[in-house]
Amino acid sequence: MAEQRRDQRDERDAREGARDVPEGRGRGVGAEEARAWQALVATARRTVADGLVVGTSGNVSVRVGDTVLVTPSGLPYDRLTPDDVTGVDLDGRQVLGTLVPTSELPMHLAVYRTTDARAVVHTHAVHATAVSTLVPELPAIHYMAGALGGPVRVAPYAAYGTDELAENMLQALADRTACLLQNHGTMAYGTTLDQAYDRTAQLEWMCRLWLTASSVPGLSPTLLSRAQVDEAGEKLRAYGQRK
């Protein structure tokens, strides 16, 4: 009798537990999307480990076909699991998962709609954010600016999560693969998550370099000309191993 009551109680608890789990939205997760989500989570965690974001600031996305997988809003990256896949279509309609997508979704979608991006990384990196409050364009302190398409512009400030911010960002990204967001942070994209992350890290490093050089009393850093940056950009396109 006791065993029967225990079985009935376990069955009741299972039914109640099932009611607590929200129903998934849209279709199931494909194999390619599952792999992409795993890579996205690893990249998001890397932004924290490398000091590019604090807490849940910043966000990461990757495009698989016409679906954009994106980090959810307000959830620490170390708590993300394979079951937390969050995806939207290019119009922003949620097609995967139940977690609310990042509030910066308009920026991510704007990049995917207007460029060949397959991955986007947004951070609140401290040196880059500091530079965004000082100048309208990062001075050409290093030739690696050529790897980002040229001198890095600063998008005028607008409230986070707004279409206005997305539009300002697109203007700053014209012919570039990264930009600064005034009083906010960085935005970079690439054909892979690794490339988008590397561009983000390079941008933060250049901002730190300029701030460091500019802090020496009585001296001003030597800057590169646009021609020199363009020349470096051409050389960098052929840099590295060919697959």
Active site residues: 104
Tell me the DSSP string of the chain: -HHHHHHHHHHHHHHHHHHHSPPPPBSPPPHHHHHHHHHHHHHHHHHHHTTS--TT-SEEEEEETTEEEEPBTT--GGG--GGG--EEETTS-EEE-SSPBPTTHHHHHHHHHHS--SEEEEE--HHHHHHHTT-SB----SGGGGGGTSSPBEEPP--TTSHHHHHHHHHHHTT-SEEEETTTEEEEEESSHHHHHHHHHHHHHHHHHHHHHHTSTT-------HHHHHHHHHHHHT-S---
For residue 181, the cross-strand partners are 155, 185
* Residue of 187, 195, 193 lying closest to 39 (CA atoms): 193
Q: Which residue has the tokens 């922003």?
A: 92
Q: Give the CA distances from residue 55 to residues 52, 78, 79, 178, 201, in Å, rounded to whole numbers and listed in that order.
A: 10, 10, 12, 22, 18
